[in-house]
Amino acid sequence: MLPALLRNIVKDVRIEFRSRIVISLIVSFCVIVTVSIGFASGGMIESPMVHSVLLWVIIFFSGMNSSHIFYREIEENTALFNLMYYSPESIFVAKLFVNCSIMFAVSIIVGVLYLFVMDVVVYHPLSYASMLLSGSLSLAVCTTIIAAIAAVAQARGGLFAILSFPITLPVITVVIKTTAQSFLAVIFSPFSAILFLLAFSSLLGVVSYILFPYIWREF
Amino acid sequence: MFTIKAHNISKRYTYRLFSNISFTVSTGQSIAIVGPNGSGKSTLLKIIGSIVFPDTGSVEYFNHQDAIPAGNVFHYTGIVAPYIQCYNQLTLTENINFAFGAVTQDAITLIKRLDLYQHKDRMLHTYSTGMLQRAKIAMALLKKPPVLLLDEPGSNMDEYGRTILFEIIKEISSHTAIVVATNDSREANICQRSINLATSVVA
């Protein structure tokens, strides 16, 4: 399975760097939205909870663009070509890896840019960083399987958003609450939140791995 | 020895495509699916390839005596069809590397034969439609599949390309089960038998 994974990852990365669709979408969305919110708020936002909500809304919508890696396979009729050589399981794990990498990059770009633009002080940088990484991992796992379903259904916008919302809600709730605490000068432990996010990601990842072959072959 | 057994396959979308089609095709045999436009040639080929499921009936796959689950049929098939494309943002060499891990001497010989060698480092989106068809044929044949499913394989190809294609099909026909969906009588004639979907007759 390892060669199959590596070849699929190399293929996705190579195609992405040539087309630059996802990279352009994400970078422009991250930067434009973060800077726009910074200008629009005019430094008036003081509540850590509001900062946390805004931060994760930007990360969430920036990360949504990574679903293009599935749409491209369906739109360009390459999904069956890929299946002729590799198992659906290896295709899923490769896509999950690419999606996680994109989400990590998004959360790091937005996480740093937001602090700079909005002039937010982080009192618990380790907790903040761990929330960005574990939160983006959970979002990536959620959106990978949903993007596959939406791509196969050839419903780019509506279905993806509708399916994403209830599945990502527990993740978003936990990361917003814990990230807000990292903006406060009070002692707290993010351990339980990290544990929840890792457990959620693992469970959904396993379920997605089992379901993906049935989803991906129904086109 | 690989065998495909189809029993009483029927399919309809908003209208009936075909019904009660039964046939068997094994290694060393070839069968053409013919019929007018809209008769369901491509759909039947997709059903044989386990891409689409029939409404009624079943398709069974056997490698020697062992039954193959429908979900694993892709491992045994090479498919050339308009709804299957190679990665256009990659070169032919990169597509071969992606699918097989390396460009072997066999691969070089085949792409030379298909007159693609001098274009192997160009991205496929710069290819003409005929060259793309040849690239798809190369990718399917390099897999050395026991079952080859061809949907209008000669489409968009020039006379030279078609001649090479027919030669290759003849060469591999002794160790491959071949199913061709086509309207072209030359493509149908290279097969030993045919299924006419207009009459549901297997001849």
**pLDDT tens, position by position, for chain B (203 residues)?**
889 999 999 888 887 788 888 989 999 999 999 988 888 899 999 999 988 889 999 999 998 888 888 888 888 999 999 999 999 999 999 999 999 999 999 999 999 999 999 999 999 999 999 999 999 999 999 999 999 999 998 888 888 889 999 999 999 988 999 999 998 888 888 889 988 888 777 77
How high is the ipTM of this complex? Answer: 0.90
Nearest to A11 among B87, B139, B143 (CB): B87
Read off the CATH number of the domain in which B56 is found. 3.40.50.300
Q: How many domains does chain A have?
A: 1
Task: Tell me the C-alpha distance between A196 and A199, whole Å.
Answer: 5
Closest to A59 measured CA to CA, from A105, A127, A122, A126? A105
Q: A187-215 pLDDT, tens per residue?
A: 888 899 999 999 999 999 999 999 998 88
**3-class SS at A121?**
coil
What is the mean predicted confidence (pLDDT) over A42-65? 87
For the cut 80, the answer to whether the pLDDT of residue A66 exceeds it is no
For the cut 90, the answer to whether the pLDDT of residue A171 exceeds it is yes
**3-class SS at A46?**
coil
**The tokens of B4 are what?**
């495909």
**CA dist B8 → A66, A174, B22, B112 (Å):** 43, 54, 5, 42
A2 touches chain B (CB under 8 A): no
Domain containing B95 equals 2-202
Edge-first strand listing for the sheet containing B2-12: B16-26, B2-12, B56-63, B66-68
Write down the H helix ranges in chain A: 2-19, 21-41, 48-64, 68-75, 79-85, 88-118, 125-152, 158-182, 191-216
pLDDT score of A62: 83
Interface mutation target, options A10, A68, A78, chain B, most CBs of B under 10 Å: A78
Q: B3-32 pLDDT, tens per residue?
A: 999 999 988 888 778 888 898 999 999 999
Chain B nearest-CA distance from A81, in A, is 6
The answer to whether A106 touches A63, Cβ cutoff 8 Å, is yes
Task: Tell me the C-alpha distance between B107 and B118, whole Å.
Answer: 13
Task: Tell me the C-alpha distance between B44 and B41, whole Å.
Answer: 5
The answer to whether A193 touches A174, Cβ cutoff 8 Å, is yes
The answer to whether B85 contacts A217, with C-beta atoms less than 8 Å apart, is: no
The answer to whether B87 contacts A81, with C-beta atoms less than 8 Å apart, is: yes
Q: How many domains does chain B have?
A: 1
Domain containing A32 equals 2-216
CB pairs under 8 A between A and B: 55
Q: B164-189 pLDDT, tens per residue?
A: 999 999 999 889 999 999 988 888 88
